[in-house]
A and B are shown apart, each in its own frame.
Chain A
């Protein structure tokens, strides 16, 4: 359950990568050597790891259309574990190398194969693989935080912290914990040892006023085709994030999620490891299964003992009966210009109060936008000519009738090149919706403040919030040929 080595690599566009950080665990390497016997392949020096890794990730020779070592069609590039063919004296194949690439940042590690190397053991039989994946995910979190990939000095300063982080979480190659960035919690202290064992995932104990914050965030995805042959799709997935400042070494808190009557059950529930126990009925509903009416639909009780930091208590998916915004999008080619017709309808069950709501209409493979002659029944239209993009800002509210329209023509210059996309050719085009509604969930799921139970002496202050956010919300042009986004329809 150990890893042999770890690398962090950055790659700027069109350049070869740089190893920014590496760590080797020689005692694990010694074990690898004795386990693999004559099949042992040593971890190469940092200068020799880069090229085979980048080749395997398809990132070498960007200007050559076909390189057999990189692009061979029989290469199984379909699992999180790569097979690295080493170059030079010795050669050999290094497996299983786990790699996560995000933007130009690549994290990779080599887990120990604690089984005889021949025949090659199945990946899931190796204990170190999930440990390696978790370590990489933790490191990625440390380096990138919530805000995507850091650049330049920000990245350098985070990389500089890695040695001390690894001293804590993986001093000798066996991960003890998930890497975490940042100073210890301010209102805590290292309590003198008491009778109760303090959880290893809790560095200290909170002192001060008890505060519990529960935030429920739901994302809605949709693919709308406006066609008889293709069925529209939508689904939601949500997560509950908690931040609990409660005194005690191992305080008990219970959060309960409830659904409205007739609400469809929460599916695929995943819980944080701090949840102490689960009722079997909570886990029964699954999106891959047939839904029978008798499925359990709450209340969903999650008893747990909170860590100090903010954490995701649970996440779920849900099938909701209607999409919040139903759209129709029609394009017609007319003498070198496009006639555009859009209508968007807000469903009556959805609160008509947005934090923001925008519809983006990108036009690809047509050259730059030259003129736009379009009328909207509500909101404003912004045009970005170079980007070939119309942004329809709908603001905070739909009008009373809950329906808005956009109609008119857009023309393009034949000479200058605009944005291109291999998917959206001809009349294949889409509208992408961006919106956020506070104090609403589509599944109807909610956390009642009064249902949050905290077993502690002081009365805690409890806050809760809800929101609905769009994610991958597409409305396809019904006169074009839209790509299928799910196979669910075929059965």
Chain B
């Protein structure tokens, strides 16, 4: 195997990290994994490169080890490398340990309690027992740290795994005095919490059971892997399991006290973790009083560390008034308000504290649905320091805006001083946007307005003012039309019965139609049309003025000559909305005039045609029919939606969406076709007179003709998925489309199937694959079809998986080759491949036991079409698999005394892992007939 230089490794690794699926599309995960492991075993490779390679094993174990078997093999390899690595390569050892832990947990080796998982856990446990580096010295210090964290992660993923080892863990925690005691402390606390959780979930807890758990020193509790603990319900406010104890809990109390006392020695991050575990322990064990935390509270209230204050908040949520008095609560909320604007804290911290205020766990909450609500203690007076100002960054400003809106909404109705301040603030932002503020400021302004409206849309005093100010803004900056339309849309969705959006639209309409014509540029007109189009969708707004304005613009400006298709379309979009307007009869004549004018005077032909079409619709259809034809939406029925595409004004991208509908659930599937008729090889061919090398040359020359033996044809039945609804029983013009998931194959051509009826026999489709590299793959399949009612549908099918044996072909020679010539050719290929100097070829040996089956049956049933020669009496068989484009796998199977030997020769060594697992499957009897389901490496990370 060729070695890769370190520099190119760093490039390949970054390519892999950028997109594992793209990277693996040009190779396979098996090959890449083999390469990685090869490099890791190589002594000449330097340590930093190896650490780099291990990083992707740590981060992408599921991609590189798609199955538990591969995971198990890989961890075995890594542990062997770990054992052999010298002491000076401690950093490498640390990374090896981390990679192993990741693979074991993620590839479900733990779930199956694989042997390697057990030995790895033993290794971890052994490593952490050298407290204070007494035995192995300080060199092993980093490894110990990693081992502790690996155990902690194992216990987190499989809660309770260490529940029978608490005595040992406690002892180690007590002994360790280097800074690593933190790791032991956190590990022990987690184990303790999970053990108590397990105990609390039992129905009956006998006396002394807790005691025996604390003193437990047995093996790993594998049973928890099968029955995982439910997550602890503290954060979800569910019911906490309680441990009823009659016997005294003195020992546990002293353990918790000691942990709390020493918590000061931990880093803030670990301290917060420890506090949370202990909160859960105390919450479960009724005999422990929450007041055990009292001594820590003052230190925690004063801390600058977000993690610690957050842990205190959780404590508050869990214990409420059994730990926090009313004064404490009052003090806490004041503290949070103070911190939400503390000049020495960062913006993300302050934003987080504002969130904490909105979800503050009160001792006596008014509602407890977990929604944002203001604690009673947050009065306008307290919140005044959080008023938004123009000097805030956008996030802070919006967050303050919404918090203060809540404050003032709940405050006294009579006093609107606070709301006035917020409104003035909006006006300050208005001024900035008016003075060409940045895009960010513009977006922030509209968001602030929307937030304000959410709370105060019922107050006419402010909304009237807002309408005026927004119109002013629009009149000076009509490019804000998309922002304005967006806000009107959202306001209509969210503000329920508010009449404000209509009020604003009316005001905007008035503003636009009264604009003096000479001031209108084409660019501005485009924006105005957008707003008028939006106005035309409102049944409550009279449209006459809009139509008159449009007509006057068409007549009196250069729009008809200089506007082009796009502007014409913008006018037509307004007209289209008008055609659907319930009060169409009020503007009937004006609209007819407008459309007529356009069809005669607009320069663009397409626009003329559309105008004519609209005109015809308007003048010939009744109102009901017109709105029926134009309306969209599910209430009208799908057939109407289809017809809409042809009369859409804005045809950009819309019509395609409207014509083909997406299926939510798949209705079609491809099922592998079981070919019962076995192809019989011609035995009667004329004997080739070619000899030796000549024969091989003739064989190889065949490949010079393009397309020779390059295709694999797989047969599938196209059927319905289970019980589909009646409309889908008869499907027509089905077009199957396949997308590749890697680049090992040429693009697959679409397959057309005329029809599929539920009642009839399913059609067989031939999927033609042209491999570039003969690796297993997976194809994404989708279909477009038509149903009886004329609707077109798009649906996704389950992925089609192409296994390794699926791409086996028999020896690609013409039918007239005799049995004898085939055998000769086999021998020639064998010989030449073995002797070839090419780095690509490889030989290998596979042994197995037949057990109680007969070898000839096994060979016949599995290798039949590729069987070249059989001599059952001598138990000797020759098999040749041809894999397009031009790979050969030759098997020579010989029955020896105690086992069957399969000698393997191939001209592509990269196929070896697949051959190996294929033979493994065949000989284990899992591979029967045509239903081959070999594991295909899944290169997607999102599965």
Residues of A within 8 A of B (CB): 1-2, 19, 22-27, 29-31, 34-35, 42-48, 58, 62, 65-66, 68, 70-75, 77-80, 89-90, 98, 100, 114-116, 119, 121-127, 129-131, 133-137, 163, 167, 169, 171-178, 190, 193-203, 219, 221, 237, 239, 267-273, 275-278, 280, 282-283, 286-289, 312, 314-315, 317, 365, 420, 422-423, 425, 472, 483-488, 490-491
- Are B177 and A80 in contact, with the CB atoms below 8 A? no
Distance A126 CA – B431 CA, assembled complex (angstroms):
39
B contacts with A: majority SS: helix
Distance A188 CA – B416 CA, assembled complex (angstroms):
62
A98-B348 contact given A288-B337, A289-B334, CB 8 Å threshold:
yes
Classify chain B's interface size: 35 or more
A71-B483 contact given A26-B62, A137-B348, CB 8 Å threshold:
yes
CB distance from B208 to the nearest CB of A (A): 31
Distance A68 CA – B18 CA, assembled complex (angstroms):
28
CB distance from A315 to the nearest CB of B (A): 4
Residues from chain A with a CB closer than 8 A to the CB of B348 are 80, 98, 100, 133, 136-137
CB distance from B32 to the nearest CB of A (A): 16
When the two chains form the complex, which single residue of B179, B181, B276, B401 contacts A127, counting CB atoms closer than 8 Å?
B276
Pick the interface stretch among B445-453, B654-662, B846-854.
Answer: B445-453
Distance A70 CA – B94 CA, assembled complex (angstroms):
43
CB distance from B153 to the nearest CB of A (A): 4
Whether B722 is near chain A, meaning CB under 8 Å from some CB there, is: no
Whether B128 is near chain A, meaning CB under 8 Å from some CB there, is: no
Chain A residue, CB-CB nearest to B131: A193
- Are A26 and B60 in contact, with the CB atoms below 8 A? yes
When the two chains form the complex, which single residue of A24, A58, A125, A276 contacts B359, counting CB atoms closer than 8 Å?
A125
CB distance from B213 to the nearest CB of A (A): 23
Chain A residue, CB-CB nearest to B432: A422
Pick the interface stretch among B282-290, B392-400, B815-823.
Answer: B392-400
Pick the interface stretch among B260-268, B497-505, B510-518, B702-710.
Answer: B260-268
Residues from chain B with a CB closer than 8 A to the CB of A119 are 370
When the two chains form the complex, which single residue of B51, B302, B310 contacts A275, counting CB atoms closer than 8 Å?
B302
- Are A72 and B105 in contact, with the CB atoms below 8 A? no
Which residues of chain B (1-55) have a CB below 8 Å from chain A?
17-22, 51, 55
Whether B402 is near chain A, meaning CB under 8 Å from some CB there, is: yes
- Are A30 and B106 in contact, with the CB atoms below 8 A? yes
Whether B441 is near chain A, meaning CB under 8 Å from some CB there, is: yes
A sample of 18 more A-B contacts (CB under 8 A), given A278-B301, A317-B343, A484-B425, is: A26-B60, A26-B61, A58-B440, A65-B439, A71-B486, A72-B490, A73-B446, A78-B399, A100-B346, A134-B269, A167-B95, A193-B178, A201-B179, A268-B339, A269-B302, A270-B339, A273-B271, A483-B391
Chain B residue, CB-CB nearest to A284: B331
When the two chains form the complex, which single residue of A115, A286, A420 contacts B338, counting CB atoms closer than 8 Å?
A286
- Are A487 and B384 in contact, with the CB atoms below 8 A? yes
Distance A27 CA – B100 CA, assembled complex (angstroms):
11
Residues from chain A with a CB closer than 8 A to the CB of B339 are 268, 270
CB distance from B527 to the nearest CB of A (A): 11
Distance A115 CA – B230 CA, assembled complex (angstroms):
11
Q: List 19 A-B contacts (CB under 8 A).
A: A27-B156, A42-B943, A66-B486, A73-B490, A114-B235, A123-B352, A127-B273, A134-B306, A174-B153, A175-B269, A176-B270, A195-B177, A197-B262, A198-B177, A221-B343, A273-B271, A288-B384, A483-B389, A490-B384
Whether B917 is near chain A, meaning CB under 8 Å from some CB there, is: no
- Are B19 and A124 in contact, with the CB atoms below 8 A? no
- Are A200 and B267 in contact, with the CB atoms below 8 A? yes
Residues from chain A with a CB closer than 8 A to the CB of B181 are 197-198, 200
Chain B residue, CB-CB nearest to A173: B153
Chain B residue, CB-CB nearest to A134: B307
A282-B310 contact given A122-B370, A178-B267, A221-B343, CB 8 Å threshold:
no
Q: Among the interface residues B21, B236, B394, which one has the most CB atoms of the partner chain A within 10 A?
A: B236
Whether B303 is near chain A, meaning CB under 8 Å from some CB there, is: yes
CB distance from A200 to the nearest CB of B (A): 4
Distance A35 CA – B233 CA, assembled complex (angstroms):
12
- Are A1 and B310 in contact, with the CB atoms below 8 A? no
Pick the interface stretch among B144-152, B567-575, B576-584, B642-650.
Answer: B144-152
- Are A19 and B18 in contact, with the CB atoms below 8 A? yes
Whether B298 is near chain A, meaning CB under 8 Å from some CB there, is: yes
- Are B269 and A137 in contact, with the CB atoms below 8 A? no
- Are A198 and B178 in contact, with the CB atoms below 8 A? yes
Whether B713 is near chain A, meaning CB under 8 Å from some CB there, is: no
- Are A27 and B435 in contact, with the CB atoms below 8 A? no
A288-B334 contact given A73-B486, A74-B450, A78-B402, CB 8 Å threshold:
yes
Chain B residue, CB-CB nearest to A119: B370
When the two chains form the complex, which single residue of B102, B228, B346, B382 contacts A26, counting CB atoms closer than 8 Å?
B102
Chain A residue, CB-CB nearest to B264: A276
- Which 4 pairs across A and B sit closest by C-beta, in order of nearness? A487-B387, A200-B182, A130-B310, A193-B132
When the two chains form the complex, which single residue of A43, A273, A422 contacts B436, counting CB atoms closer than 8 Å?
A422
Distance A144 CA – B639 CA, assembled complex (angstroms):
60
Residues from chain A with a CB closer than 8 A to the CB of B231 are 35, 114-116
A73-B449 contact given A1-B272, A116-B236, A171-B146, CB 8 Å threshold:
yes
Distance A219 CA – B343 CA, assembled complex (angstroms):
10
A176-B269 contact given A73-B447, A195-B177, CB 8 Å threshold:
yes
A273-B305 contact given A422-B438, A423-B435, CB 8 Å threshold:
yes
Distance A134 CA – B304 CA, assembled complex (angstroms):
11
- Are B59 and A124 in contact, with the CB atoms below 8 A? no
Q: Write out, one digit per residue, whether chain B residues 291-305 have a CB within 8 A of any chain A CB (1) or not (0).
A: 000000011011111
Residues from chain A with a CB closer than 8 A to the CB of B343 are 219, 221, 237, 317
Chain B residue, CB-CB nearest to A204: B179
CB distance from B539 to the nearest CB of A (A): 23
- Are A72 and B177 in contact, with the CB atoms below 8 A? no
- Are B60 and A121 in contact, with the CB atoms below 8 A? no
When the two chains form the complex, which single residue of B19, B370, B446, B490 contacts A45, counting CB atoms closer than 8 Å?
B19
Whether B867 is near chain A, meaning CB under 8 Å from some CB there, is: no
- Are A123 and B102 in contact, with the CB atoms below 8 A? no
- Are B399 and A122 in contact, with the CB atoms below 8 A? no
A487-B264 contact given A47-B18, A65-B479, A134-B306, CB 8 Å threshold:
no
CB distance from B854 to the nearest CB of A (A): 45
- Are B494 and A74 in contact, with the CB atoms below 8 A? yes
A193-B179 contact given A45-B20, A130-B307, A200-B265, CB 8 Å threshold:
no
Chain B residue, CB-CB nearest to A41: B942
Chain B residue, CB-CB nearest to A30: B106
Distance A211 CA – B878 CA, assembled complex (angstroms):
85
Distance A95 CA – B93 CA, assembled complex (angstroms):
35
CB distance from A19 to the nearest CB of B (A): 7
CB distance from B486 to the nearest CB of A (A): 6
CB distance from B101 to the nearest CB of A (A): 7
When the two chains form the complex, which single residue of B105, B228, B313, B942 contacts A27, counting CB atoms closer than 8 Å?
B105
- Are A423 and B390 in contact, with the CB atoms below 8 A? yes
Chain A residue, CB-CB nearest to B146: A171
- Are B439 and A176 in contact, with the CB atoms below 8 A? no
Chain A residue, CB-CB nearest to B333: A288
Residues from chain A with a CB closer than 8 A to the CB of B157 are 27, 30-31
Whether B167 is near chain A, meaning CB under 8 Å from some CB there, is: no
Distance A272 CA – B334 CA, assembled complex (angstroms):
20
Whether B872 is near chain A, meaning CB under 8 Å from some CB there, is: no
- Are A174 and B273 in contact, with the CB atoms below 8 A? yes
Distance A46 CA – B619 CA, assembled complex (angstroms):
57
CB distance from A193 to the nearest CB of B (A): 4
- Are A27 and B486 in contact, with the CB atoms below 8 A? no
- Are A30 and B439 in contact, with the CB atoms below 8 A? no
- Are B398 and A484 in contact, with the CB atoms below 8 A? no
Q: Write out, one digit per residue, whether chain B residues 413-444 have a CB within 8 A of any chain A CB (1) or not (0).
A: 00001100100110010011101111111110
A129-B298 contact given A31-B156, A487-B389, CB 8 Å threshold:
no
A486-B359 contact given A100-B348, A275-B299, CB 8 Å threshold:
no
Whether B733 is near chain A, meaning CB under 8 Å from some CB there, is: no
Distance A423 CA – B494 CA, assembled complex (angstroms):
32
Residues from chain B with a CB closer than 8 A to the CB of A239 are 344
